[in-house]
């Protein structure tokens, strides 16, 4: 039996079966030919070798150049404790209204939060340090252990800064040091004198010698004589990517850069909406000098954000990685509060969105463009995409249609070229794109959806898959997750005439503290709120999961046209069962059924002629596939294969084994217009075929 994604036809029986299995309500799936009647095994009869017929002269559509991007929000300590360079936890003392959490006293001193001596309206509390018992031989002060540690690296310059004032009698000096947790090793230290009775900012550089990298360290500030001192915004930055002040961690930025992402969807996710209007991402509070940013409770994910990584920093992140911003604007819906009524009540939020767009794109003569210039970035940022809200289908009142319309009309009136993305069904306007999210909780459930766009209508709004992930593996996906993800990506890529953009979520997780209670529930101060995240890190190092590498493979071998490709005799395997793998789900359980075991998509770089054949073998056995290429004069006999494989679907990467499962590029011989290649068990392969 033959199947094709070009002739969008399928036998109703198998399609119906698959739809029933998946609980799908919209899109029919492709029929697949099968060699196996037994779930999970290949039959004893000699299996026909699957054949992939690539019609190299038939470009069915342009491959969307913006397909592979990133989605981000403050979750799992993504920014503070992650990408954002700040190393001090609770630097503004606002993480808890009654306690100076994450701060410790050193020596015979005491600390308390003080609202009577604020730095300013935004940072309206300070840390009072009573060091009246301090002496030269018995210094007293404060220490902060960062986000599960402070990284100390050899020959590295750290930038420490803080606001301080004294009772007017004490003038210093303060000793600022980077020391290990037991205080026995001081890696770098500096003195700060001239403390007065008025708030002033102090800055020092701390440079380490040729020390061994470590993370069980603290920033310590002490006095060697009696005094009372108040502190605010105590900060410590390591070198940042592109040396940006208030910038990002280089190792994580490099991981992202290596994915060659085309866009960044920000600032959320739930982080955009907050549980209440008060706790939404209120962008106007996230720009300007960081000492003027009040911060807010990220109550969707349960911890404080200083908003040090604010709107400008998101845009600069895009600039650094040459990605387009995809700016999600607050649309009057928070997760635990009735929505703002469309009409006059919604108008201030629409205006906020227009101002936000002006901040990003306006010239320096506009109000918000001028603010951006004052913030250090006179040049406007390119901006093509605005998303109105996030997952507004959860607003069961049905108000989204009217809210979207109000935003759409106001934005299009001023910025007719902006593409405006809807997050739920709307009928009053035609969105430029609609954002769809999916988080299947098994690789089979994800693989079962890999064909869902094949028969999707080619008219109507384009599709942005703004959040997708196979939720298998924690804290980061394992090879099973990567296989599900790769299968899904073949579907997005094959259909990237309508699926213009896609982004995995969540992007980041701090893996330092993954403790659970006896029922597996997250404990307070856990560093992960959502298991199965693309990139993991602790204070010192970071790593990409197998899914990260799968995306990197796809994104860096993209091509610009989708080639007509037929397949025959694709083997079948057991589909998702009621037994769940991984944790968390928003998908219905499905009973065991038959699914394709091999997935593919074929694109071509029309300028060089190179054909990229992506083949995902989800089976635990080698799978030969015959590849036939028509419509070209010749195919070189040697080429390259990028292969990521694992011995087991449970194989994964971690802080201690960061590159256990990674792609390997190999030279391949014996290629041509017709050849057979064996694809390893549990593997994702990209064949680069030089065709003329």
Of 81, 238, 268, 649, which lies in the binding site for ligand AHR, with binding defined by CB under 6 A? 268
Nearer to ligand AHR by C-beta: 73 or 651?
Answer: 73
Residue 667: count other Cβ atoms within 10 Å of its Cβ.
8
Least distance in Å: CB of 530 to ligand AHR?
Answer: 5
Cβ-based neighbour number of residue 182 at 10 Å: 8
- The β-bridge partners of 84 are 248
Please tell me whether residue 281 binds ligand AHR under the rule CB under 6 A: no
272 vs 598 by CB, closer to ligand AHR = 272
Q: How many residues belong to the site for ligand AHR (CB under 6 A)?
A: 10
CB 537 within 8 A of CB 148: no
Ramachandran region, residue 502 (left: φ > 0; alpha: ψ -120 to 50; beta: rest): beta
Q: Which residue has the CB atom at the shortest distance from ligand AHR?
A: 269
Distance separating alpha carbons of residues 30 and 594, to the nearest angstrom: 13
Residue among 230 and 404 whose Cβ is closer to ligand AHR? 404
Judged by beta carbon, residue 234 or residue 535, the one nearer ligand AHR is 535
Q: How far is the CB of 18 from ligand AHR (least distance, A)?
A: 25
Q: Which is nearer to ligand AHR, 78 or 594 (CB)?
A: 78
Compute the least distance from the CB of residue 579 to ligand AHR, in Å.
Answer: 24
- Least distance to ligand AHR from the beta carbon of 23, Å? 18
For the CB of residue 146, give the shortest distance to ligand AHR in the complex, in Å: 25
Q: Which two tokens stand for residue 16?
A: 């119906």
Select from 10-18, 267-275, 367-375, 683-691 the region that touches ligand AHR (CB under 6 A): 267-275
Task: Calculate the alpha carbon distances from 445 to 18, 58, 385, 648 in Å.
Answer: 11, 31, 30, 19
* CB of 469 vs ligand AHR, minimal distance in Å: 8
Of 491, 445, 437, 494, the closest CA to residue 468 belongs to 437
- The residue written with tokens 């940022």 in the block is 381
Provide the minimum distance between the beta carbon of 300 and ligand AHR in the complex, in angstroms, as a whole number. 7
Select the span of 262-270, 350-358, 534-542, 619-627 touching ligand AHR (CB under 6 A). Answer: 262-270
Residue 506 contacts ligand AHR per CB under 6 A = yes
Under a CB-based contact definition with an 8 Å cutoff, are residues 311 and 281 in contact? no
Q: Which of 325, 387, 390 is nearest to 359 (CA)?
A: 325
Restricting to residues 621-680, name those near ligand AHR by CB under 6 A.
Answer: none
Of 414, 415, 409, 410, nearest in space to 430 by CA: 409
Q: Is the distance from CB of 56 to CB of 564 less than 8 angstroms?
A: no
Which of residues 217 and 390 has its CB atom nearest to ligand AHR in the complex?
390
Rounded to an integer, what distance in angstroms lies between the CA atom of residue 304 and that of residue 109? Answer: 26
Q: Helix or strand or coil: residue 678?
A: strand
Residue ranges in 424-483 that form contacts with ligand AHR under rule CB under 6 A: 467
Answer yes or no whether residue 174 interacts with ligand AHR by CB under 6 A.
no
CB of 443 to ligand AHR, least distance (A): 18
Instruction: Say how far apart CA 265 and CA 167 lie, in whole Å.
Output: 47
Q: Nearest 5 degrees, angle CA 27-CA 31-CA 37?
A: 130
**Binding status of residue 510 toward ligand AHR by CB under 6 A:** no
Nearer to ligand AHR, 273 or 688 (CB): 273
Q: 247-286: buried (b, 16+ CB within 10 Å) or exposed (e) per residue?
A: bbbbbbbebbeebebbbbbbbbbbbbbbbebebbbebebb
d(CA 265, CA 73): 9
> Cβ 73 to ligand AHR, closest distance in Å?
6
Nearer to ligand AHR, 270 or 617 (CB): 270
Residues in the chain: 692
CB nearer to ligand AHR: give 246 or 279: 279
**Contact status, residue 276 vs residue 344, Cβ threshold 8 Å:** no
**Stretch of 39-47, 268-276, 490-498, 572-580 contacting ligand AHR, by CB under 6 A:** 268-276
Q: Which CB sits closer to ligand AHR, 102 or 530?
A: 530
CB distance 403 to 339 below 8 Å: yes
HSE-CB of 442 using CA atoms within 13 angstroms: 17
DSSP character for 371? H
Task: Find the binder of ligand AHR among 166, 233, 390, 565 (CB under 6 A).
Answer: 390
Cα–Cα distance, 564 to 4 (Å, whole number):
8
Residue 269 touching ligand AHR (CB under 6 A): yes
Tell me, residue by residue from 63 to 82, as one string, x for binding to ligand AHR by CB under 6 A and - for no binding. ----------x---------
Q: Which of 391, 526, 538, 651 binds ligand AHR (CB under 6 A)?
A: 391
Query: Using CB under 6 A, which residues numbered 523 to 582 contact ligand AHR?
Result: 530
Cα 513 from Cα 520, distance rounded (Å): 14
Which window, 59-67, 264-272, 405-413, 447-455, contacts ligand AHR (CB under 6 A)?
Answer: 264-272
Residue 505 binds to ligand AHR (criterion: CB under 6 A): yes
Nearer to ligand AHR, 369 or 506 (CB): 506
The reply on whether position 270 binds ligand AHR by CB under 6 A is: yes
Nearer to ligand AHR, 479 or 505 (CB): 505
Stretch in the footprint of ligand AHR (CB under 6 A) among 148-156, 266-274, 342-350, 414-422: 266-274
Residue 506: asked if its preceding bond is cis (omega within 30°), the reply is yes
- From the list 80-88, 265-273, 412-420, 662-670, the region that binds ligand AHR by CB under 6 A is 265-273
CB of residue 331 to ligand AHR, shortest distance in Å: 13
Contacts of 206 (CB under 8 A, 6+ apart): 157, 158, 159, 160, 176, 177, 178, 187, 188, 189, 190, 236
Q: Which is nearer to ligand AHR, 221 or 507 (CB)?
A: 507
Nearer to ligand AHR, 385 or 682 (CB): 385
- Within 10 A of 368 (CB to CB), how many other CB atoms are there? 18
CA-CA distance, 197 to 212, in Å (whole number)?
40
Nearer to ligand AHR, 76 or 683 (CB): 76
Phi, psi of 401, deg, nearest 5: -55, -50
What are the residues binding ligand AHR (CB under 6 A)?
73, 268-270, 390-391, 467, 505-506, 530
């Amino acid at each position: 039996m033959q199947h094709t994604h070009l002739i969008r036809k399928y036998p109703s029986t198998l399609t119906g079966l698959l739809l029933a299995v998946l609980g799908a309500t919209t899109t029919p799936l492709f029929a697949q030919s099968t060699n196996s009647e037994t779930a999970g095994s290949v039959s004893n009869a000699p299996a026909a070798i699957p054949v992939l017929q690539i019609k190299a002269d038939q470009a069915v559509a342009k491959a969307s150049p913006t397909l592979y991007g990133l989605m981000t929000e403050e979750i799992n300590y993504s920014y503070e404790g992650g990408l954002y360079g700040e190393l001090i936890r609770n630097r503004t003392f606002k993480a808890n209204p009654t306690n100076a959490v994450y701060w410790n006293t050193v020596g015979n001193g005491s600390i308390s939060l003080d609202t009577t001596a604020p730095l300013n309206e935004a940072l309206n509390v300070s840390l009072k340090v009573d060091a009246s018992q301090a002496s030269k031989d018995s210094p007293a002060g404060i220490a902060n252990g960062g986000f599960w540690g402070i990284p100390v690296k050899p020959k590295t310059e750290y930038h420490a800064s803080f606001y301080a004032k004294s009772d007017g009698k004490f003038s210093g000096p303060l000793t600022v040091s980077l020391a290990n947790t037991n205080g026995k090793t001081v890696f770098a230290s500096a003195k700060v004198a001239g403390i007065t009775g008025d708030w002033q900012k102090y800055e020092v550089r701390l440079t380490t010698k040729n020390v061994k990298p470590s993370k069980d360290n603290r920033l310590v500030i002490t006095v060697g004589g009696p005094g009372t001192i108040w502190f605010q915004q105590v900060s410590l930055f390591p070198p940042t990517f592109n040396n940006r002040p208030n910038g990002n961690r280089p190792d994580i930025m490099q991981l992202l850069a290596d994915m060659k992402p085309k866009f960044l969807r920000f600032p959320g996710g739930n982080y955009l909406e907050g549980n209440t209007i008060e706790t939404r991402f209120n962008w106007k509070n996230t720009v300007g000098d960081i000492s003027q940013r009040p911060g807010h409770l990220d109550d969707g994910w349960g911890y404080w954000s200083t908003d040090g990584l604010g709107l400008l920093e998101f845009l600069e992140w895009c600039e650094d990685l040459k990605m387009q911003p995809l700016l999600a604007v607050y649309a009057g819906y928070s997760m635990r509060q009735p929505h703002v009524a469309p009409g006059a009540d919604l108008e201030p939020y629409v205006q906020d969105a227009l101002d936000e767009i002006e901040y990003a794109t306006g010239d320096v003569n506009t109000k918000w463009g001028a603010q951006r210039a004052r913030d250090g970035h006179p040049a406007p940022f390119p901006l093509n995409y605005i998303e109105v809200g996030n997952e507004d289908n959860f607003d069961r009142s049905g108000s989204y249609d009217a809210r979207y319309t109000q935003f759409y009309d106001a934005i299009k009136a001023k910025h007719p070229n902006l593409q405006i993305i809807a997050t739920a069904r709307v009928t009053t306007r035609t969105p430029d794109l609609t954002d769809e999210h999916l988080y299947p909780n098994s690789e089979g459930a994800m693989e079962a959806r890999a064909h869902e766009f094949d028969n999707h209508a080619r008219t109507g709004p384009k599709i942005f898959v703004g959040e997708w992930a196979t939720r298998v593996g924690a804290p980061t996906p394992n090879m099973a997750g990567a296989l599900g993800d790769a299968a899904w990506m073949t579907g997005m890529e094959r259909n990237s005439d309508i699926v213009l953009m896609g982004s995995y979520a969540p992007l980041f997780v701090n893996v330092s503290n993954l403790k659970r209670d006896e029922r597996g529930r997250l404990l307070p101060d856990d560093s992960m709120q959502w298991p199965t995240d693309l990139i993991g890190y602790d204070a010192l190092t970071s790593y990409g999961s197998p899914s990260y590498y799968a995306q990197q493979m796809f994104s860096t071998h993209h091509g610009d046209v989708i080639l007509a490709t037929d397949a025959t005799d694709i083997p079948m395997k057991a589909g998702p069962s009621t037994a769940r793998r991984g944790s968390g789900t928003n998908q219905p359980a499905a009973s065991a059924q038959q699914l394709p075991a091999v997935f593919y998509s074929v694109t071509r770089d029309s300028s060089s002629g190179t054909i990229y054949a992506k083949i995902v073998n989800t089976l635990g056995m080698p799978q030969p596939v015959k590849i036939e290429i028509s419509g070209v004069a010749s195919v070189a006999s040697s080429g390259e294969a990028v292969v990521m494989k694992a011995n087991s679907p449970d194989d994964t990467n971690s802080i201690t084994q960061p590159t256990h499962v990674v792609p390997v590029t190999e030279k391949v011989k014996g290629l041509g217009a017709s050849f057979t290649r064996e694809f390893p068990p549990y593997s994702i392969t990209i064949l680069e075929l030089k065709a003329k």
